[in-house]
A and B are shown apart, each in its own frame.
Chain A
Amino acid sequence: MRQKAKELLESGEVKVVIGYGQGSAPFKSTPIFIEKPEDAHKLIWNPTCVNNLTVYLRDACRQGKAAIVVKPCDARSIIELIRENQIERDDVVILAMSCPGVLNLDALAEIDLADVKSVEWHQSGIAIKTNAGETIIPSEKAFASKCLSCELAESPIADKKFGEPIERHPIRSKYADIEELEKMLPKERRAYWARQFARCIRCYACRSVCPGCYCKECFTDKPCQLWVLRSTDVESNWFFHFSRAMHTAGRCIACGECERVCPMGIPLMRLNQKMRKEVREMFGEEAGTNPEAPPTLGTFDLKNDPDPCSE
C-alpha cells in the first residue's frame, strides 16, 4: 500500500494520499495527508484504523485527484458520494484494504491504556501488548459493533486491492441493536430516547464526522431561525438528532462514526439502523452498493412505487 501510494505521488497521478498514520498513542491512529512520495512510509494499517476517511474526500477532490485508503465498509461512502454527485469517480483512486475488523476502544476498559505498547490483529481477535505481556481480546469483544455484523469480504469499489478477501461469518444480525427497541412500547421508547438526548451537548461531532453530512450550511447553523433552538433541552436535541437521521436516510452506510465519536455515548446507530431498515423495506435499497443508481430519496419512480398513495 505504501509502495502504491509512493508510485501514485511520484507519477503525479494524485496530489494527495489520504490514509492512516500513527496516532499519539499505540491504540490510536490519525488521518494523514501524504503529498510527497518520501512520506509514504508514514502510512499504517492495523486495527486502530477506525476512522472513515471518506469524510475528507469532497474537499480533497476539489484540489485535484486524490487517493484514499479505505476499509470495505468505508468504500460504500465513496459509492454514495459518487451517486449523489459529490465527487467524480475519475477524481479518486481507491486503495482498498482487506479488513478483519477494527478496534472497539471500550474493549480495553480493563487494560491500563497508559501501558499499551501495540495493537495488532490476531487470528482470534486483537492482540494487545503491554509491559505486563500480551493479552488476546476475542473477536466478539475486540471489534467495533459494526464489524460483528459485517458481510463485506472485500471492498465493493476499488482501484487497487490489498490483502486477500476475508471470509465473513457475521456473529450478529445487522439490526441486532434495534430489536430490543422495536419491542418497546412507544412510551418506553420515547423515555429511552429522552434519556439519551438529555445528555447531548450539541458539539456536532456526529455531524462533522459523517461523510453523508455534506450540506454547505446545516439547518442547525442557520442564523436567526427557529427550526431548532441552540439550547440543549431534550426537545431541541431530539429535533436535531431526528432531523439528521431523516437527512441521512438512504445515504447512511452504517460506518458507525457518529456513534463512535459521540462523547456522551449516545447510541446514534440505533437511529440510523432503523432508518436503513425502513429504507430497505420501503424502497428495496441499501445505501453504498451501486454507484450508478440514482439517490434513493432523490428520485421518484411512480411506476415502481411499492407503496403508491393513490391506491
Chain B
Amino acid sequence: MEAKVISKQDLATWIDALVKQYEVIAPVTEDGVVVFRQVSGLSEMTIEGMVGPAKSLREHFTPPTETLFDYKLEDLSAEVIPPENEERHRVIFGARACDAATLLYVGAVYSNVEPIDTAYFMRREKTYLVGLFCNKPAWSCFCTEVGDFLTNPVAMDVYLTDLGNRYYAEPLTPKGEELIGLGNFRPADENDKVANEEIRQKALERLPKRAEHETACLSYDWDHPVWTELAKKCLSCGACAFLCPTCHCFDIQEHPKLKKGSRYRCWDTCQFEKFTLMASGHNPRETRKERTRQRVFHKFKYSQERYCMLGCVGCGRCIAACPVNIDIRRVLEELEKTAVAK
C-alpha cells in the first residue's frame, strides 16, 4: 500500500474527522502522567516528542475492573444480567509499536482455550490502531531485543512517523487506508522516504541489538542464583506487572448486596503473595524467590512453549517503574550466561 504524508497543520483537521466518526483514544497528560484517554481533538493530545506513556493500551482491551454480569435474587430464583456492550468503533491514536505487538500475544492467550474471551475480542474487533514510530526510544526501551516490530509493525492499521514538520503515514490494512482517506494526505515522494528511513535508523542506533532470547530462554536455569538475589530486593509490589502490556492475569471477585450484586474481574499479579494461595492454606509460590522467577519464566519460557512467542514486547515500563531498579534486561543477561553454557 502506498505511503502518504500529512503536514502538521493538517493533522488537527484529520483528527477532527476521526472524532466525528469514531471514539478516539490518544495519549494525554494528566497531572504530569501520560495516559491513553478519549479525546475530542488534537489540542488535548500529547504526541509531540512523546516517549512511551506510563500506562499501555492494556486498560482499553482488558480494563482493570470489568463487570462480568450483574444478578438479582428473587425468592429461589436468580436473574443474570449480562453487561452492556458499550463501546462503539474506536481509533486508538499514537499507539506504540510495542503496545500493538502485545495484541498478538494476549490474543493468543485469550483464544487458547474454549470459551474464548469474547469481551476482549469484541474490543479488538471494534478498534483501529494508528501507531506512532518512536523517534527517540527511552533509556529503558529494549523492543529490538525481543522482536522487530518497531520497523515491521504488527496489529496496526496505520503507522505514522514524525518527520519534523509532517507525518509519514503507512497504511497497513484496508481499514488503515480508509482512515487515511479522511485526512488531507498526499503521496510520499522520494524525500519523504529518505527522511523516514533516516529517522528509523537513528532510533535503531539508540536501541540494543537483537538477542537470541528465543533459543536461550528455553534452557533458563530454575535454580539460578539470580532468583535469590532478586528476592532480596524485590518488594513484591505489582508495579511491574500492572504496567506490563502483556501481563493478563485476573482475579474474579463478587460484590454481593442483599438481593442483587455483581461479579467482576480485576487485574491480579503473580507478584502478590496471595496470588497462588490455595484454600488449603498451601502456597506453592510462598516467597519472593518463586514469584520473581515465575514472572520471568512466564514471559520468556512458558510463553515460548505454549504460543511460540515471547511474552515480552520490550516496552521497558517494568524497568522504569521498579522502585528498587530490578532491570529485566540485566536479569536476562545473567540467565543467558548459564543458558548458553549448557
Residues of A within 8 A of B (CB): 23-25, 28-33, 51, 55-56, 106, 112-114, 116, 195-196, 199, 201-205, 207-209, 221, 223, 226, 229-233, 257, 260-261, 263-265, 267
Q: Does B69 contact A (CB under 8 A)?
A: no
CB atoms of A24 and B54 under 8 A apart: no
Contacts of B55 in A (CB 8 A): 201, 264
Q: Does B186 contact A (CB under 8 A)?
A: no
Q: Does B273 contact A (CB under 8 A)?
A: yes
Contacts of B321 in A (CB 8 A): 205, 261, 263
CB atoms of B242 and A51 under 8 A apart: no
CB atoms of B235 and A205 under 8 A apart: yes
Residues of B within 8 A of A (CB): 30-33, 35, 54-55, 64-65, 136-139, 206, 232-233, 235-239, 241-243, 251, 253, 255, 264, 266-267, 269, 272-274, 277, 317, 319, 321, 323-327, 329-330
Residue in chain B with minimal CB distance to A33: B232
Residue in chain A with minimal CB distance to B136: A112
| Distance in angstroms between the alpha carbons of A196 and B239 in the assembled complex | 17
Known: A195-B31, A229-B253. A31 touches B233 (CB 8 A): yes
> B35 contacts which of A116, A199, A203 (Cβ < 8 Å)?
A199
CB atoms of B253 and A230 under 8 A apart: yes
CB A182 to nearest CB in B, in angstroms, measures: 19
Contacts of A29 in B (CB 8 A): 325
Interface centre among B255, B319, B325 (most CB of A within 10 A): B325
Residue in chain B with minimal CB distance to A223: B274
Residue in chain A with minimal CB distance to B66: A231
CB atoms of B253 and A205 under 8 A apart: no
| Distance in angstroms between the alpha carbons of A229 and B33 in the assembled complex | 25
> A24 contacts which of B30, B31, B243, B319 (Cβ < 8 Å)?
B319
Residue in chain B with minimal CB distance to A229: B255
Known: A230-B253, A232-B64. A113 touches B232 (CB 8 A): no
Residue in chain B with minimal CB distance to A233: B65
CB atoms of B323 and A257 under 8 A apart: yes
CB atoms of B251 and A205 under 8 A apart: no
Contacts of B241 in A (CB 8 A): 203
CB atoms of A209 and B323 under 8 A apart: yes
CB atoms of A30 and B138 under 8 A apart: no
Seed contacts A33-B233, A114-B138, A230-B251; 15 additional CB < 8 Å A-B pairs:
A23-B325, A24-B319, A25-B139, A28-B325, A51-B323, A56-B233, A114-B206, A195-B31, A203-B237, A204-B238, A204-B272, A205-B237, A205-B239, A264-B33, A265-B54
CB atoms of B324 and A51 under 8 A apart: yes
CB atoms of A231 and B266 under 8 A apart: yes
Contacts of A264 in B (CB 8 A): 33, 54-55
Contacts of A24 in B (CB 8 A): 319, 325, 327, 329-330
Known: A199-B33, A201-B267. A208 touches B206 (CB 8 A): no
| Distance in angstroms between the alpha carbons of A236 and B115 in the assembled complex | 31
Residue in chain B with minimal CB distance to A231: B65
| Distance in angstroms between the alpha carbons of A263 and B269 in the assembled complex | 16
CB atoms of A203 and B238 under 8 A apart: yes
Contacts of B137 in A (CB 8 A): 114
CB atoms of A208 and B330 under 8 A apart: no
| Distance in angstroms between the alpha carbons of A257 and B239 in the assembled complex | 14
| Distance in angstroms between the alpha carbons of A223 and B274 in the assembled complex | 9
| Distance in angstroms between the alpha carbons of A55 and B233 in the assembled complex | 10
CB atoms of B319 and A265 under 8 A apart: no
Listed by A's residue number, 6 A-B pairs whose Cβ atoms lie within 8 Å are A24-B327, A56-B232, A114-B206, A205-B321, A232-B64, A263-B317
| Distance in angstroms between the alpha carbons of A36 and B137 in the assembled complex | 38
CB atoms of B31 and A261 under 8 A apart: no
Interface centre among A106, A114, A116 (most CB of B within 10 A): A114
| Distance in angstroms between the alpha carbons of A112 and B327 in the assembled complex | 19
| Distance in angstroms between the alpha carbons of A108 and B92 in the assembled complex | 29
CB atoms of B274 and A221 under 8 A apart: yes
CB atoms of B267 and A208 under 8 A apart: no
Residue in chain A with minimal CB distance to B35: A199
> A261 contacts which of B237, B242, B326 (Cβ < 8 Å)?
B237
| Distance in angstroms between the alpha carbons of A114 and B141 in the assembled complex | 10
Contacts of A226 in B (CB 8 A): 255
| Distance in angstroms between the alpha carbons of A208 and B233 in the assembled complex | 11
Residue in chain B with minimal CB distance to A198: B30
CB A88 to nearest CB in B, in angstroms, measures: 21
| Distance in angstroms between the alpha carbons of A165 and B140 in the assembled complex | 36
Contacts of A23 in B (CB 8 A): 325, 327
Known: A207-B237, A208-B237, A265-B54. A196 touches B31 (CB 8 A): yes
| Distance in angstroms between the alpha carbons of A257 and B329 in the assembled complex | 24
